[in-house]
């Protein structure tokens, strides 16, 4: 019975549920993977079905992987060549320009974008927050639309301190896109792959020092 009460408390929005939320938020401020691990612990202890945080077995792991990689890389190119120039962003990302030609930095940054961003951020911002906010506001079309916009804004804000206004704008837009896909499908695997591919494409563009060229593909 004690386990049932703890699980119910973690699923609710009383003291125990709020403490769990704050612990996950604090963990995510330290590192996205830590926050994601805490989400998985919360999911297990609260006896929340895994599907409710988007952990759903896809019909085809390979198919979703391929779709995610293609979509994520193409999405990054569209953002870099069209969307960000329209928003007046600097063609060079000053926060990550140190990666240009920096082979020694590649293992660390690739681990960060694949595990930290692709898995960690999606588990946090899409899986966990959609579940929590869905319990608060419901699952109707207007509620889901609000959740998509709200979580995208949080995602953008989370990137502001490290990447400035342009980084926050890009993160907000990607949050809207990934959030919309998740609101429709309820599945995270393809989105995780797309997010990782988006960031790996960004790293490749910087590493090969073609940021400016890509940023001026459409608008000279």
pLDDT at site 166: 94
Is residue 205 within 8 Å of residue 80, measured between CB atoms?
yes
Residue 219 pLDDT level (bands cut at 50, 70, 90): confident
Q: Would you state the torsion angle of the CA atoms of residues 49, 25, 111, 127, taken in this order, to the nearest 10 degrees?
A: 30
pLDDT tens-place string over residues 96-105: 999 999 999 9
pLDDT at site 144: 95
Residue 220 pLDDT level (bands cut at 50, 70, 90): confident
Query: Measured between alpha carbons, how far is 98 from 77 in angstroms, rounded to an integer?
Result: 20
> Among 51, 58, 57, which Cα is nearest to 131's?
51
Residue 23 pLDDT level (bands cut at 50, 70, 90): very high
pLDDT tens-place string over residues 114-155: 999 999 999 999 999 999 999 999 989 999 999 999 999 999
Query: Measured between alpha carbons, how far is 188 from 167 in angstroms, rounded to an integer?
Result: 23
Q: Residue ranges per domain, the chain? A: 1-48, 57-215
Query: Measured between alpha carbons, how far is 7 from 103 in angstroms, rounded to an integer?
Result: 47
Evaluate if residue 199 carries a pLDDT over 80: yes
Evaluate if residue 1 carries a pLDDT over 70: no
pLDDT tens-place string over residues 48-80: 999 999 999 999 999 999 999 999 999 999 999
pLDDT at site 4: 84
Query: Measured between alpha carbons, how far is 129 from 110 in angstroms, rounded to an integer?
Result: 25
Q: What percent of the chain has pLDDT over 90?
A: 94
Query: Measured between alpha carbons, how far is 220 from 215 in angstroms, rounded to an integer?
Result: 9
Query: Measured between alpha carbons, how far is 44 from 153 in angstroms, rounded to an integer?
Result: 28
pLDDT at site 3: 76
- 187 torsion bin: left (phi>0), alpha (psi -120 to 50), beta (else): beta
Query: Measured between alpha carbons, how far is 159 from 93 in angstroms, rounded to an integer?
Result: 13
The residue count for the chain: 220
Which of residues 162 and 80 earns the better pLDDT score? Answer: 80
> Among 216, 220, 95, 84, which Cα is nearest to 159's?
95
């Amino acid at each position: 019975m004690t386990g049932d009460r703890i699980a119910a408390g973690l699923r609710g929005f009383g003291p125990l549920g709020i403490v769990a939320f704050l612990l996950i938020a604090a963990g995510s401020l330290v590192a996205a993977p830590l926050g994601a691990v805490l989400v998985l612990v919360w999911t297990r202890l609260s006896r929340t079905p895994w599907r409710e945080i988007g952990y759903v077995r896809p019909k085809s792991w390979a198919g979703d992987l391929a779709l995610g990689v293609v979509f994520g890389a193409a999405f990054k190119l569209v953002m870099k060549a069209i969307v960000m120039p329209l928003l007046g962003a600097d063609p060079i990302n000053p926060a990550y320009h140190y990666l240009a030609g920096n082979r020694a930095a590649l293992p660390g940054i690739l681990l960060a974008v694949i595990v930290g961003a692709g898995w960690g951020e999606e588990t946090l911002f899409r899986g966990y927050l959609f579940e929590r906010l869905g319990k608060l506001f419901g699952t109707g079309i207007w509620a889901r639309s609000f959740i998509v916009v709200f979580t995208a804004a949080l995602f953008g804000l989370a990137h502001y301190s490290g990447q400035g206004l342009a980084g926050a704008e890009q993160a907000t837009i990607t949050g809207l896109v990934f959030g919309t896909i998740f609101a429709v499908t309820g599945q995270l695997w393809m989105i995780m792959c797309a997010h990782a591919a988006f960031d790996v494409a960004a790293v490749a563009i910087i590493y090969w020092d073609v940021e400016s060229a890509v940023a001026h593909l459409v608008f000279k």
